[in-house]
C-alpha cells in the first residue's frame, strides 16, 4: 500500500469517527421537515451529477473543491440522500437503490456545511458541521486538526498561542482588529519529540465580512509532518440578515 493511500485511510478514519459522533447526537427524535441554509465543499474535485430532494423537488448538488458554495435554502427531511440518477427521486423511498451519499442534519442547525469525501467505490462520506455565524463568526478562523498530531497556532505580533489537540476543532476570533490594521501574522508549529517545530509562517487578512477555515492534515510525502489547506469565505452578510428562519 502506498504512503498516500495510508495517509488517506488514516485521515478518513479520523473523519469517520467525527461523523459517528455527529450521528449519535442526532439519534434523538427529529422533525419530519427542517429548514436551514446549506453550504458545500468537495474535498478532492468538483462534484457533478449528484441529486437530492429539496422542498419536494429534485435538485442537482453544487460542490466545489476550490472553496465553499454559496449558501442555499434547504427544506426537507433531516436525512438528505444523494443519488447519481435524478429519476431515482421519483420513486418511493423504499423502492430506491442505496444512495451514494447520506447527510444527517441536526434540527437545531441554522446553517450547515456539508463536506463531501470520495470513497473508492464512487460513493461519498459526508461530514456535517455547524456553519452559523453564532458558532463561526466573521473575523475568525476555524481550525480542523485532522493530522493526528498536536499543533499550535500563534496569531499577532505579540503572539497569542492556541494549542489544538488531534481530532479537535476550534474557533479563534480576531474581534479586536482595527479597521486600518487587519493583517495578522500567523505561525503554525507541530509537536515534535522534544520541542515544537515551526512549519508555517505567513500574514493573513481578517475583516468583518470574511472568515477562514483551516484543515490541518498529514503531509503526503513526509512522515510525521503536516500540511494545511485554507479556505476563505468572503462577502458575509451581517449576522441578523442570516437568521431568516
pLDDT at 88 over 80: yes
Among 50-59, 82-91, 215-224, the range scoring the smallest mean pLDDT is: 215-224
pTM, 2 dp: 0.79
Q: What is the pLDDT of residue 29?
A: 54
Average pLDDT over residues 132-149: 92
Instruction: Sort 163 into a burial class: Cβ within 10 Å, 0-12 / 13-18 / 19+.
Output: middle
Helices (H) and strands (E) in the chain, counts: 2, 16
Q: Which CATH class is domain 140-236?
A: mainly beta
Domain ranges, ordered by start, for the chain:
3-130, 140-236
**CA atoms lying within 13 Å on the CB side of residue 186:** 22
Residue owning grid cell 493511500:
5
Q: Locate 194 and state its grid cell.
A: 522534544
Picking from 58, 64, 65, the residue whose alpha carbon sits closest to that of residue 84 is: 58
Residue range 188-221, pLDDT digits in tens = 888 765 678 888 899 998 888 899 999 999 888 7
Average pLDDT of the chain to the nearest whole number: 84
Instruction: Report the alpha-carbon angle 206-207-211, nearest 5.
Output: 65
Closest CA to 242 of 140, 130, 141, 81: 130
What's residue 78's pLDDT? 97
Measured CA to CA, the distance from residue 36 to residue 196 in angstroms comes to: 41
* pLDDT single digits (tens) 96-127: 999 999 999 999 999 999 999 999 888 999 99
Amino acid at each position: 500500500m502506498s504512503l498516500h493511500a495510508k495517509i488517506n485511510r488514516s485521515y478518513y478514519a479520523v473523519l469517520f469517527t467525527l461523523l459517528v459522533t455527529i450521528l449519535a447526537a442526532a439519534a434523538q427524535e427529529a422533525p419530519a421537515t427542517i429548514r436551514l441554509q446549506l453550504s458545500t465543499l468537495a474535498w478532492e474535485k468538483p462534484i457533478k451529477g449528484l441529486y437530492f430532494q429539496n422542498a419536494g423537488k429534485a435538485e442537482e448538488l453544487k460542490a466545489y473543491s476550490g472553496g465553499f458554495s454559496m449558501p442555499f435554502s434547504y427544506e426537507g427531511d433531516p436525512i438528505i440522500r444523494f443519488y447519481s440518477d435524478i429519476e431515482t427521486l421519483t420513486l418511493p423511498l423504499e423502492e430506491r437503490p442505496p444512495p451514494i451519499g447520506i447527510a444527517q442534519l441536526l434540527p437545531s442547525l441554522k446553517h450547515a456545511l456539508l463536506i463531501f469525501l470520495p470513497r473508492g467505490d464512487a460513493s461519498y462520506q459526508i461530514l456535517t458541521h455547524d456553519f452559523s455565524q453564532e458558532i463561526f463568526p466573521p473575523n475568525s478562523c476555524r481550525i480542523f486538526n485532522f493530522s493526528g498530531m498536536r499543533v499550535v497556532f500563534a496569531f499577532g505580533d505579540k503572539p497569542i498561542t492556541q494549542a489544538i489537540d488531534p481530532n479537535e476543532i476550534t474557533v479563534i476570533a480576531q474581534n479586536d482588529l482595527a479597521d486600518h490594521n487587519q493583517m495578522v501574522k500567523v505561525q503554525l508549529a507541530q509537536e515534535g519529540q522534544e520541542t515544537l517545530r515551526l512549519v508555517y509562517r505567513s500574514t493573513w487578512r481578517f475583516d468583518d465580512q470574511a472568515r477562514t477555515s483551516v484543515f490541518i492534515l498529514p503531509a503526503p510525502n513526509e512522515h510525521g509532518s503536516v500540511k494545511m489547506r485554507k479556505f476563505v469565505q468572503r462577502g458575509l452578510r451581517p449576522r441578523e440578515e442570516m437568521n431568516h428562519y
